[in-house]
Structures are given as C-alpha cells and as structure tokens.
Amino acid sequence: MDADHILALLGRPATDPSVESTFVQLRTRRRPELDPRDRDAFYDWVLIRRQGVELGFVDPVYFNAGDAWKRRRPGVPLLLHQVYFYSRRDDISTFSGQLPFGLEWSDDRATARRKLAPFAASPRFYLKDVWDLPDYRLTVVYKKGDKALDSI
C-alpha cells in the first residue's frame, strides 16, 4: 500500500469503508477507540509495527472546537487526522510502500527539500522540515546527520 492512498483518507471517519479497507490491507485488527476511563482523552493511535505506519484519530467535535458537552458521544466515529510513516527502528519495521512526492528513505535533507520545493510556498526548516500543502501538513524527520529520512 502506498502512502498517497493512506493520506487520501485524512479527515474520514474510522468507520468509513475505505478506512476499514485500509485496516484490513495493513493487516491489523485494532480499531481506534477512546479510553472510557479518561473523559479528557480525545485521541487514539493505531500503530501497526509490522507495516511501519501509525494512524492518529481524534474526536470530531473536539477537533472542530465544538461544545464540550457534545464531545465523546457514543456512536460518533473518530476522524483520521494524522499519519506517520516510519523507517526501521528497534520495534517498528520500515514502511515499504511508495512514499509521497517521490521521497525515498535514503534521501538526505537536501534531496528531500529539492523534491518538495515545488509543492509549498513557505516551508519551515529547523530540526524537522515542515511543508504546509493544500490538503495536509507534511513533516519530515531526518536520521542523525541528515543523511536519510527517519519518519514522515
């Protein structure tokens, strides 16, 4: 599965058939749910270690700054709002699908910036590089010495 397929799902509810299909393709049985014991929890994360991807979900009323009394309602599905793609680390495999914008895990910082230059007018560079794109914000984290990508 390619990153663009997953990124196209941003903003969709966890119960959307295309999100459910992605869970199946990623071979995970875990589905997002808020901790029932923590009334202040508005996020849940589904980390799929074998696939090198993490999906972040949020309560839609909280995300849209809705009234506090409307948050965490039963039967209201969480929205997919963040996605992380990882390169290999101790307990997580490298995401093996095609990365967005032609990025490759072996790209150094200069190469990643060159590949993303046409897509954002005002990127922000520091420890991480950030591009505000039309549909989402893309953050690239580099390995030590900026010699390769660590996560997107």
Which pLDDT score, from 0 to 100, does residue 12 have?
Answer: 98
Which pLDDT score, from 0 to 100, does residue 82 have?
Answer: 97
Q: Are 142 and 149 in contact (CB under 8 A)?
A: yes
Which pLDDT score, from 0 to 100, does residue 75 have?
Answer: 85
Q: Are 80 and 14 in contact (CB under 8 A)?
A: yes
Per-residue pLDDT of the chain (152 residues; tens, 9 = 90+): 899 999 999 999 999 999 999 999 999 999 999 998 898 899 999 999 999 999 999 999 999 999 888 898 888 899 999 999 999 999 999 999 999 999 999 999 999 999 998 887 678 888 899 998 888 999 999 999 999 999 99
Which pLDDT score, from 0 to 100, does residue 80 have?
Answer: 98
Which pLDDT score, from 0 to 100, does residue 36 have?
Answer: 86
Which pLDDT score, from 0 to 100, does residue 123 have?
Answer: 81
Return d(Cα 103, Cα 119) in angstroms, integer: 13
> pTM for this structure?
0.92
Q: Are 64 and 47 in contact (CB under 8 A)?
A: no
* DSSP structure string for the chain: --HHHHHTTTT-BTTSHHHHHHHHHTT--------TT-TT--EEEEEEGGGTEEEEEE-HHHHTT--GGGTT-TT-PPEEEEEEEB--BTTBPPP-SPPGGG--TT--HHHHHHHHGGG-SS-EESSSEEEE-SS-EEEEEE-GGGSSEEE-
